[in-house]
Amino acid sequence: MQRLQAYKYELMPTGEQQRDMRRFAGSCRFVFNKALALQQVNHEAGGKFIGYVEMAKQLTAWRNSAEMAWLKTAPIHPLQHALKDLEKAYKNFFEKRANFPRFKRKGQSDSFRYPDPKQIKLDQANSRIFLPKLGWLRYRNSREALGELRNVTVSQSCGKWFVSIQTRREIDIPVPRGGMVGIDLGIARFATLSDGSFVAPLHSFRRHEKALLKAQRSLSRKTKFSSNWKKARIRVQKIHSRIGNARRDFLHKTTTTISQNHAMVCIEDLQVRNMSRSAAGSTETPGRNVRAKSGLNKSILDQGWFEFRRQLDYKLAWNGGHFIAVPPRNTSRTCPCCGHVSADNRRTQARFECVECGYENNADVVGAINVLRAGHARLACADTSPEVGASGQEPTEATIQFSV
């Protein structure tokens, strides 16, 4: 079995390298935005979606034009990769996995990727890496990167630069341990397992919310671009990054434990995107129950259900297990005992009581049991090997964060 893994390290660039990296990230953002604008103009004119090959030709034209000649000073492969990123964003939109691609702003996920391993040299013994147009960069070598190098992503966060090295290596397929389990995701309990156990939510955002509000208020009182304003802004960014770290840590711990103890995990195929869509509605159709829904939105976004699913999927594959997404169908309203389906079965958020047979349990546990059953049903339908397990998704930078 092939394992893809990403190793992230902090870079120790020279001043010149920092300036270059900022410039390259800016050039990639420019190309992404320009291509997105072109797609939009083309679409409004009734044109078809412009594919990557055609768009790459445009990029060549931009680089050869007098007014955008500065694009030539940036490495070509990361610029092309920005176009691939845009195509992926469109694909996710077409397949209803994401919202419409948005223009990128400066300072918002500043990064660029070198997709061609032939142009990269990794010298782990001397803690340095060679990247086109940047030269040798030193990095904090906290852990050995195993496997064959595939691509490298450079990114900036809180004033620091990082390099994420993705590798591929052959490993023996492990024999999965444990049985099959269903999981219900919720607000009061982050994850409830069909065996009755559950994972309490972290609410990393809530916990830091007060500190963040205070820092943001202090920032808004400062004169823009003054030195105090800059200091206050760094404080806000730091709290944001603390929230992110706590959440990442929580998700990794949870998904590692679950994937190590189960051979098969069934989960409801929730459209988190729909649930977290703006609750306020439009002026014509103002949203109902706005306050309650925005509370729910905050919790969903806070807890990272998508990231949870993504991690479970690839970690199960790493451990030789399987991941099954089942369509959400009455999972919260069906009685696991007699099969009776009724909204009345669930009188409160927390309690399930069947109006037919009187079966009682925690509502989330009932949901998890029904998800597990739906997973069993899906397995029974598939004749040979079920369409489950590794989705083939590549690990992103968030996947593994060893070092730093």
Stretch that binds Zn ion, among 9-17, 235-243, 337-345, 382-390 (CB under 5 A): 337-345
Q: Which amino acid is at 223?
A: T
Closer to Zn ion by Cβ: residue 71 or 354? 354
Closer to Zn ion by Cβ: residue 338 or 350? 338
**What's the min distance (Å) between Cβ of 341 and Zn ion?**
10
Q: What part of residues 114-153 is at the interface with Zn ion (CB under 5 A)?
A: none
Closer to Zn ion by Cβ: residue 204 or 361? 361
- Contact with Zn ion (CB under 5 A): which of 55, 163, 312, 354? 354
**What's the min distance (Å) between Cβ of 361 and Zn ion?**
10
For position 180 contacting Zn ion by CB under 5 A, the verdict is no
Site residue total, Zn ion (CB under 5 A) = 8
**What's the min distance (Å) between Cβ of 363 and Zn ion?**
14
Tokens standing for residue 397: 């930078």
How far apart are the C-alpha atoms of 115 and 130, rounded to whole Å?
A: 14
- Contact with Zn ion (CB under 5 A): which of 350, 357, 382, 404? 357
For position 356 contacting Zn ion by CB under 5 A, the verdict is yes
Stretch that binds Zn ion, among 11-19, 108-116, 336-344, 368-376 (CB under 5 A): 336-344
- Contact with Zn ion (CB under 5 A): which of 154, 202, 270, 335? 335
Q: First and final CA of the chain: distance in angstroms? A: 28
Stretch that binds Zn ion, among 29-37, 128-136, 180-188, 329-337 (CB under 5 A): 329-337
For position 340 contacting Zn ion by CB under 5 A, the verdict is yes
**What's the min distance (Å) between Cβ of 304 and Zn ion?**
34
For position 353 contacting Zn ion by CB under 5 A, the verdict is no
**What's the min distance (Å) between Cβ of 342 and Zn ion?**
9
With the C-alpha atoms ordered 346, 347, 348, 354, is the resulting torsion angle positive or negative?
negative
Q: Considering only CA atoms, which of 194, 176, 149 is closest in space to residue 315? A: 176
Q: Output phi, psi for 191, to 5 deg.
A: -140, 130
For position 337 contacting Zn ion by CB under 5 A, the verdict is yes
Closer to Zn ion by Cβ: residue 51 or 358? 358
Q: What is the DSSP letter of 119?
A: G
Closer to Zn ion by Cβ: residue 27 or 345? 345
Active site residue 184: yes
**What's the min distance (Å) between Cβ of 354 and Zn ion?**
3
Stretch that binds Zn ion, among 108-116, 135-143, 228-236, 333-341 (CB under 5 A): 333-341
Residue 358 burial (CB < 10 Å; 0-12/13-18/19+)?
exposed
Closer to Zn ion by Cβ: residue 183 or 366? 366
Per-residue H/E/C for 354-381: CCCCCCEEEHHHHHHHHHHHHHHHHHHH
Q: Output phi, psi for 361, to 5 deg.
A: -165, 175
For position 359 contacting Zn ion by CB under 5 A, the verdict is yes
Closer to Zn ion by Cβ: residue 10 or 356? 356
User: Cα 206–207–208 angle (5° rounding)?
Assistant: 95
For position 338 contacting Zn ion by CB under 5 A, the verdict is yes
**What's the min distance (Å) between Cβ of 355 and Zn ion?**
8
- Beta-sheet strands, E only, within 238-397: 264-268, 322-326, 351-353, 360-362
> How far is the CA of 360 from the CAs of 180, 253, 296, 354, 355, in angstroms?
23, 31, 26, 7, 10
Contacts for 61 with CB less than 8 Å, ≥ 6 apart: none
How far apart are the C-alpha atoms of 256 and 400, rounded to whole Å?
A: 12
How far apart are the C-alpha atoms of 239 and 134, rounded to whole Å?
A: 31
Q: Considering only CA atoms, which of 200, 179, 206, 330 is closest in space to residue 264? A: 179
For binding to Zn ion (CB under 5 A), which residues are involved? 335, 337-338, 340, 354, 356-357, 359
The residues that are catalytic are 184, 268, 364
